[in-house]
Structure 1
Amino acid sequence: MRIAITGSTGLIGTALVRSLRADGHDVVRLVRRAPQAAGEVRWDPEGQQVDTAGLAGCEAVVHLAGAGVAEHRWTAAYKQRIRDSRVHGTRTLATALASMDAPPRVLVSGSAIGYYGDTGDRRTDESGPAGHGFLPEVCVDWEDAARPALDAGIRTVFARTGLVVARSGGAWGRLFPIFRLGLGGRLGDGSQYWSFISLQDHIAALRHLVTTEELSGPVNLTAPEPVTNREVTAVMGHVLHRPTLFTVPAPALRLVLGEFAEDVLGSQRIVPRRLLDSGFGFAHPRIIDAVRAAQQS
């Protein structure tokens, strides 16, 4: 299969490219610079340009590009960058795909469980409503930006991703060094739910979305059983053989992270109902499985 991917140099994109190529698929990487290697195609989200000729023959597109939510303090300028990188990029890509004489059969477009906002201890699946606040609003607009592809008859799936457990990048990648130093601990009172997924399961789930014809619309990419931050802390300490005596009080998080602290302290107990109903099997369903897999990778 010929598959195009945006955001192919990020944590998830790199792993997805590697997985697909290992199985013999033809991967096209959409890049913002001039192409420098075979299999690269130019796109310019800000300029609303995509080299659609380079996408000829692609049966699927996986759209992962977007500014990192946790990489910078949320100034007004960075919040605008988060929103624009997702909304403008998605609209540009969806519009370009819709214009093709022979468009791909499926667009898997990145989204996030931030869509639901703070769900407390309520188990929430894809039928849950959008939450309130910056991230839910971004996710709503982000998904709506793919409408040109949907209207053109392209099967469109929104991969609402949880916290990806990986040692080499992403938000979880920042936890490993802290816990290895014995400085890890719960955040706030630790009662907030974290909806996680191992990197390996995330890649397998994305591939499942590409090939499972009956799936369209939102699909939660999280493990079946979300856990509290307190449980995450205990598992990290157990797997890494380090104490977990420290606690980061909520006021300190707010001081360091600003507005983003409310999302760190918020609770999201999100479950992957549609993924499970479609027959997907998790390699790492428990948090200890996911952390051990990340530690060994």
Structure 2
Amino acid sequence: MERSRIAVAGASGLIGSALVRSLTADGHEVVRLVRREPRGADEVRWDPERGRVDAAGLTGCDVVVNLAGAGVGERRWTPEYKRLLRDSRVLGTAALAKAAASLPRPLRVFVNGSAIGFYGDTGDRVVDEDAPPGDGFLSALCVEWEEAAAPVTEAGVRTVFLRTGLVVARGGGAWGRLFPLFRAGLGGRLGDGRQYWSYIALHDEVAAIRHLIDGEGLSGPFNLTAPQPLTNGEITEAMARVLHRPTVFAVPAPVLRAALGEMAGDVLGSQRVVPRRLLESGFRFAFPGIDEAIRAAE
């Protein structure tokens, strides 16, 4: 991709910070959306919960990547936190999409975050991008999140939705919590371990985003997951194998429900999601297997 001006919302998050490093290393001009007063020309002020964006700061951008949103696993899902999870995504996306649609020079592409939570609990059933939304809070949230980008899509801008799985990385997300536990010999399966986890190495997540930015004609939803989802039990065995630690502990489902509340349903739920459209577009994974994804995160 030729040198571009790219705005990134959620630039301080796990995926966003890795994406910014990758883009900057290749000479792209990255503009970060920030909630405070900007400290330089490479920052643009916004307030996602209030639906405000300094649209003038996006002038000249070729690409907008929206990865912003409160952490799904950061806190117990109280009614207040569920509202924050929704508002930080839906209201922020709507405001950013509206601002992007109003730019005097149209964007080349608008890339919006989403998640495989869109599909709900799929059990043993393999699902790709053609599957309908599932049930539950996260599914409804993802549907609203994607629909909030309508202003920029209706303006004729190519729009991509990143339905991301569990990112294998040390710096955050679910795996950021798993690594210390397994290194301490406290890792183990969750529930009966038969639920499918659809994962992706952080390196491949960033590479896939860049592939979709560059891919003229690529639009709509793309599952960002490794080609072969595994069960929680299989992933537990891989963590033990790669980190050379025993996995004698298991967390029973009732304990998870007591500790996590409503969120336990998504930890114990099964999502066997495959990246059909991503593979069809020509993307090649650097770390498709779980062992190599874990080693890459080490």
Normalising by the residue count of structure 2, what TM-score does the alignment of the two structures yield?
0.98
User: What is the CA–CA distance in structure 2 between the aligned matches of 1:78 and 1:44, rounded to whole Å?
Assistant: 17
User: Counterpart of 2:204?
Assistant: 201
Q: What is the CA–CA distance in structure 2 between the aligned matches of 1:216 and 1:55, rounded to whole Å?
A: 21
* Structure 2 SS opposite 1:3: strand
* Structure 1 equivalent of residue 124 of structure 2: 121
Residue 292 of structure 2 corresponds to residue 289 of structure 1: yes
Q: Which residue identity does 1:188 align to in structure 2? A: G
Question: Residue in 1 aligned with 2:61?
Answer: 58
Determine if contact 2:127/2:273 at 8 Å carries over to the other structure: yes
Corresponding letter in the other structure for 1:115: F
- In the other structure, the counterpart of 1:147 is 150
Q: Which residue of 2 aligns with 1:258?
A: 261
Q: Distance between the aligned counterparts of 1:219 and 1:89, measured in 2?
A: 21
Once the two structures are TM-superposed, the CA of residue 91 in structure 1 deviates from its matched residue by: 0.3
Q: For 2:116, give the aligned amino acid.
A: I
Tell me the residue number matched to 2:189: 186
Cα distance in 1 between the residues matched to 2:48 and 2:255: 37
Q: Which residue of 1 aligns with 2:217?
A: 214
Matched position secondary structure for 1:160: strand
**What is the one-letter code of the residue matched to 2:74?**
E
In 1, Cα distance between the equivalents of 2:257 and 2:106?
Answer: 46
Return the alpha-carbon distance in structure 2 between the equivalents of residues 280 and 238 of structure 1.
Answer: 28
Structure 1 residues 43-52 or 55-64, which shifts more? 43-52
Shift, 1:277, TM fit: 0.1
Q: How far apart, in 2, do the equivalents of 1:180 and 1:51 lie?
A: 44
Q: What residue in structure 1 maps to residue 228 of structure 2?
A: 225
State the shift of 1:52 in Å: 1.8
- One-letter amino acid of the structure 2 residue matched with residue 102 of structure 1: R
Q: What's the counterpart of residue 76 of structure 1?
A: 79
Indicate if the aligned counterparts of 2:58 and 2:103 stay in contact, CA closer than 8 A: no
Q: Are the equivalent residues in 1 in contact too, given 2:201–2:296 (CA < 8 A)?
A: yes
**Partner of residue 86, structure 1:** 89
Structure 2 partner of 1:277:
280
Structure 2's unaligned 5+ residue stretches are none
Task: Pick one of 41, 48, 53 that aligns with 2:51.
Answer: 48
Q: Aligned to 1:100, what secondary structure does the other structure show?
A: coil
Q: Secondary structure at the match of 1:186?
A: coil
Cα deviation, 1:77-123, whole Å, max 9, x if unaligned, reads 11111111110000000011111111311110000000000001111
Aligned amino acid, residue 34 of structure 2: V
C-alpha deviation, 1:45, in angstroms: 1.7
- Return the alpha-carbon distance in structure 1 between the equivalents of residues 168 and 277 of structure 2: 21
Kindly provide the amino acid, as one letter, of the partner of residue 164 in structure 1: V
State how far apart, in whole Å, the 2-side matches of 1:127 and 1:78 are.
Answer: 30
Identity across the alignment (%): 68
SS for the counterpart of 1:248 is: coil
How far apart, CA to CA, are the structure 1 residues paired with 2:22 and 2:153?
A: 27
Report matched runs for 1:240-259 at 5 Å.
240-259=243-262
CA distance in 2, matches of 1:284, 1:33: 37
Give the TM-score of the pair, scaled to structure 1: 0.98
1:154 & 1:209 partners in 2: Cα distance? 14
Task: State the one-letter code of the partner of 1:278.
Answer: S
Alignment: residue pair count: 295
What RMSD over aligned residues (CA atoms) do the two structures have, in Å? Answer: 0.8
**1:185 alignment partner, SS class:** coil
Deviation string 1:3-39 (CA, Å, 9 cap, x unpaired) is 1000000111110000000011110101111001331
Deviation (angstroms), 1:173: 0.5
Does 2:4 match 1:11?
no
Partner of 2:168: 165
Q: How many angstroms apart in 2 are the aligned matches of 1:49 and 1:79?
A: 21
Q: Which runs of 5+ in 1 are unaligned?
A: none
Q: Deviations over 1:243-293 (max 9, x none)?
A: 001110000000100010010000000000000000000000011110010
Pairwise mapping of residues 16-55 of structure 1 onto structure 2 (< 5 A)? 16-55=19-58
